Structure 1
């Protein structure tokens, strides 16, 4: 791996389940969308250095930067060292329990503290509106600045001289300073003491959340960081879970595969909930159940692959031509045309996601009064679509097939429905579920190439696809069977790179042949290795993948095979799910105590 020329995303993220922000190693807020994950950015330097605005705390001389999280939290620290001094910027999104509910305001707090010498700093705060089309006008208050001029109403309350900020002047940092940025709300509380109290409460909240997680010893710190990442990708107000907080970060330079991932994919959510369930967190599942139930009882013929975080159905894809794009990569897209696709695996994934609510005795399934109606709805969806061709997991825009992966999750979803039907005592549902299990298995077997001893990506297709690793992971192929072992060998021979990365597939799609590997596929490979008993191989391959994280153990969607560069949206929930599930699978195989 060419570490010298390797591209990485030099940001960390903070969030409180109401919003997410990206903080660069240079202290700038590179990405912040308010009031929702899918709203216009307030700071969007990630996609345009000029039109994206700026919120930075920079010295007046050359500097060196280090960045780290407070242990077991989503509180991020950036330390700046210069010849004349050193200071730290601590960024966080307040989150803690207050008045018997979670306090998670649209508020970003920055604490600036001197650590050594006499550093001189300049605070620049220039938010923008409507994806950078409008610069906001700054208005001076008594100890705050109001920014207006677009849909956004933003206030910066601070203990720093307003003149220094408005005139962008450097000043000597000789005591702790605070910046509190809020959306559409006034802030009248004491600034310093409130910021300190919120910091202590937020730190305590995240550390308690980690303490109440059942995480194995195997690479525990990496799993903790990934779990903290996933947690703040849930929009708690509705229960929706987004794939990533960014848009238009290219899968590879110049590829034009620049997509908006700030929405809730049914498929991605299944994987996220599975990984959180593995560490003993269930409230995310219960919140998602409320989200999906509201979608389920719509009169539409089928589920969409994705919805807005408020359940919005139309996510019309648009291009923002006025923005430069990440490192000049265009187009910049908002919305995602995949909402129009036919992807029939999602009904099974919804059923599997909700299965613990009916089979885990820590939940009282009688509390779900609409269970028969909900289960009938989803069984009907699979019955109506099981014979169709679809776009598949990789969302081909102009290619339809009877995909093995789709049939697998119809099979798995029907199995989940069978267990739910037994729980609620509905014999009719049991009969319907069993019929779907048998039919889906028949389609899966139609993908088997006996000569090559491998399942192809679709019926009648010669192509191999990493998604069929799930045949092993989902227990369709018994782990001790020769067919599972042969299938894994065939996939690794064709799709695995020398350094342990994995391609989704190698045939042409709507945009040509993929140029970057897909990180979750490599973690699926690790998980499959552990399943078939190749545990030493699984551990070796798992360890080799860790080097593809950035400086904060955050992973992107795609990785360049040649130099290990990070590409695609970041951080990608899929990738962190892959790490957590692979670590969990390996820990279950190791002959030592699993949990603390």
Structure 2
């Protein structure tokens, strides 16, 4: 029996591919950035507050509450929280961000809808809506009308429209709820209908949208609940306007307790985005790839064959200067960072991630917008940069801030860029270009086999002529560099397991980095290990570890970046797209096929 781990990140995500919010088990909105993922966290109590308790949150409180239940409406991004008091009274709170087709386009406003209904007795509630601005430093000016309250500060105005008594809401006065209530928090615009009627209609249409979206997924036979939740979560981390994909919706959830490993993940890492696209492609969800290609093409057109950053802002911003703000931090563990210094890094795996993220589109006839020869030529510029950088020092996949080496995983991805370009050239009948890229790929292959393999260690190692192991080398078979049964790959998997595994969890590496030795396991590495084990024939062992990882999800099926092996506690930014990708990949690798039912 796998124990249920303790959790502090007991949060559900709602969103609509333009922004997202996190809601805790007591139905408090504790994190929400507006007007987009990397915007001002108007609700920021997840990272503490500069004022009194309750600031930076949107709570609908049941007096005398003693317990709660929380779950998603099946196959949707609509979350329902039930609160129960000690006298048998209970309410149900439904939260979502509207998303559905209307008037020939996708309707996805910067708006959060909260609907409340009585499910038992005569409950008494208090509404506390306390947005704060400029990372908690500014209280808004509050004005109100007959059915709304406005919060004005820092160039942003939020309007809370409701059929609840506005005076009670404004003054946070407890009151008896005697009928359905709706709260629409969004731009400073009047609603076109009665709040409860409009919010109920939006709930119905949003529920229908997500159930229709889910219905089109090509699911595995097993682990469907986990896969569906992971897929919806990945979709919620896409910024539809530009096609960008954020690594997570939070900043500064530390990788381990009381460390300086606090980062802002509200940007688009080209590496992480590739893995998201690949996972959703495996479920036949192609729209995300089509949107992401728009983003990638813009990145490629900006670089002109020069250095490509490992990450960009969700609207192609290049400069993401890292600063700190005066918030206490998650569970009091600062610093709280805004921006990410990694945008200055040289991380050469990025070139492979760009080409890999786009490559399926050149072969998939389902796409509405088929890439053409000009798209291929744009990627060729990226490929030339990959070849030039494949044996040059960089910060590596793990973004080391004070040390540069020729990382084997970076060279591996440079190989993948050239290899896939050869295949794409063949698809277009460009034999000369196919030979060119094949020769470049073979040159990189020879370099990796000579300099990345350590005979004494008996495995591929973290850097050329190095001695340390690195979980990223588990990708060797996944990207097709070597067959899974190649003795060198099998040996690498075995050495990595012996060195980096703690219980059911895998660390990135064991050597100390800029902040000392890592304290927690990195979830995507564990999923890479699961995949590698299954590929080399150790499928039952892989299944055991996979199911242990599923048990580490929180109560609504979400994972963060890191896990404490001894307890299963979640750490790191949330929900982490890398980790949710691992859930999908593991299920696709391990599930029995549908033909097993015949």
Q: Classify the TM-score, shorter chain.
A: over 0.9
What's the CA shift for 1:399?
1.1
Consecutive unaligned residues of structure 2, counting only runs of 5 or more, are: none
- Measured in 1, the distance between the counterparts of 2:155 and 2:133 equals 7
Deviation, 1:302, is 1.1
Moved more, 336-345 or 576-585: 576-585
1:62 is matched with 65
Counterpart CA distance in 1 for 2:190 and 2:307 is 44
1:80 aligns with 2:83: yes
TM-score (structure 2 length as normaliser): 0.96
The alignment status of 1:302 with 2:302, answered yes or no, reads: no
State yes or no: 1:172 paired with 2:192: no
8 Å CA contact retained: 1:306, 1:338: yes
Q: Report the Cα offset of residue 189 of structure 1.
A: 2.4
Q: How far has the Cα of 1:213 moved from its partner?
A: 0.3
**Map 1:76-155 → 2, pairs under 5 A:** 76-84=79-87, 85-155=89-159
State the Cα deviation string for residues 158-198 of structure 1 (Å, max 9, x = none). Answer: 00001111111111112110000012433242211111111
Q: Please give the per-residue CA displacement for 1:98-150, whole angstroms capped at 9, x wherever unaligned.
A: 11111100111000000001110000111111111101111011211111132
Q: Does residue 27 of structure 1 match 2:27?
A: yes
* 1:488 matched to 2:490: no
Q: Which moved more, 1:417-426 or 1:283-292?
A: 417-426
Kept in 2: contact 1:379–1:432 (CA 8 A): no
User: Given the alignment of the two structures, is residue 525 of structure 1 paired with residue 529 of structure 2, yes or no?
Assistant: yes
Task: Report the 3-state secondary structure (helix = DSSP H, G, I; strand = E; otherwise coil) of the residue aligned with 2:302.
Answer: coil
In the alignment, what sits opposite 1:476? 481
From the superposition, tell whether residues 558 and 299 of structure 1 become closer, same or farther in structure 2 (CA, over 3 Å): closer
* Post-superposition offset of 1:593: 2.5
Report if the CA contact (8 A) 1:96-1:104 is conserved: yes
Distance, in Å, in 2 between the alignment partners of 1:595 and 1:187 is 51
Q: Is the 8 A contact 2:310 2:345 kept in 1?
A: yes
Q: Which moved more, 1:358-367 or 1:125-134?
A: 358-367
Q: Deviations over 1:55-82 (max 9, x none)?
A: 1010221321111000000000110001
Which residue pairs with 1:334 in the alignment? 338
Question: How far does the alpha carbon of each residue in 1:513-567 deviate from its partner, in whole angstroms, 9 at most, with x for none?
Answer: 1111101111111111111121111111111111111111110100112222110
What is the alpha-carbon distance in structure 2 between the residues aligned to residue 364 and residue 115 of structure 1?
A: 46
In the alignment, the residues of structure 2 paired with residue 430 and residue 49 of structure 1 have an alpha-carbon distance, to the nearest angstrom, of 57
1:383 Cα deviation (Å)?
2.8
Separation (CA, whole Å) in 1 of partners of 2:407 and 2:68: 48
1:440 aligns with 2:450: no
Aligned partner of 1:228 in structure 2 is 232
Q: How does 1:328-367 map to 2 (within 5 A)?
A: 328-363=332-367
Matching of residues 174-189 of structure 1 within 5 Å: 174-189=178-193
More moved, 241-250 vs 562-571 = 562-571
Match of 2:272 in 1: 268
Q: Deviation string for 1:208-237 (max 9, x for gaps)?
A: 111000001121110110001000100000
Q: Report the Cα distance in structure 1 between the residues aligned to 2:197 and 2:334, rounded to whole angstroms.
A: 44
Residues 46 and 326 in structure 1, CA contact (< 8 A), matched pair in contact too: yes
Asked whether the equivalents of residues 348 and 389 of structure 2 are also in contact (C-alpha less than 8 Å), the reply is yes
More divergent stretch after superposition (384-393 vs 81-90): 384-393
Q: Tell me, what secondary structure is at the counterpart of 1:326? A: coil
Match for residue 316 of structure 2 among 311, 315, 318 = 311
Q: CA RMSD in A?
A: 1.8
Could you tell me whether the CA contact under 8 Å between 2:454 and 2:465 is conserved in 1? no
Query: In the aligned structure 1, how far is the partner of 2:5 from the partner of 2:18?
Result: 36
SS at match of 2:497: helix
Moved more, 37-46 or 177-186: 177-186
Q: Does 1:17 align with 2:17?
A: yes
Counterpart contact for 2:425–2:433, Cα < 8 Å: yes
The aligned counterpart of 1:238 is 242
Cα distance change, pair 215–2 in 1 and its aligned pair in 2 (3 A): closer
Other-structure match for 1:550: 554
User: Which of the numbers 399, 402, 417 marks the counterpart of 2:403?
Assistant: 399
The 1:223/1:64 distance shift into structure 2, 3 A limit, reads same
User: Cα offset for 1:389?
Assistant: 0.8
Moved more, 367-376 or 165-174: 367-376
The answer to whether the Cα contact below 8 Å between 1:556 and 1:575 also exists between their aligned partners in 2 is yes
- Change in CA separation of 1:184 and 1:288 when aligned onto 2, cut-off 3 Å: farther
TM-score by length of 1: 0.96
Secondary structure of residue in 2 paired with 1:63: strand
Instruction: After TM superposition, give the deviation of residue 442 of structure 1 in Å.
Output: 2.1
The answer to whether the 8 A contact 1:217-1:595 is kept is no
Q: Which runs of 5+ in 1 are unaligned?
A: none
Equivalent of residue 388 in structure 1, options 388, 392, 405: 392
CA distance in 2, matches of 1:266, 1:367: 19
Q: Distance in 2 between matches of 1:184 and 1:164?
A: 20
- Which residue in the other structure is 2:565 paired with? 561
Shift in Å at residue 453 of structure 1? 2.1
Residue deviations 1:326-381 (CA, integer Å, cap 9, x gap): 11111100000000000011111111111111112324776536224312321222
Distance in 2 separating the partners of 1:266 and 1:373: 19
Q: Work out which of the residue numbers 503, 507, 516 in structure 1 matches 2:507.
A: 503
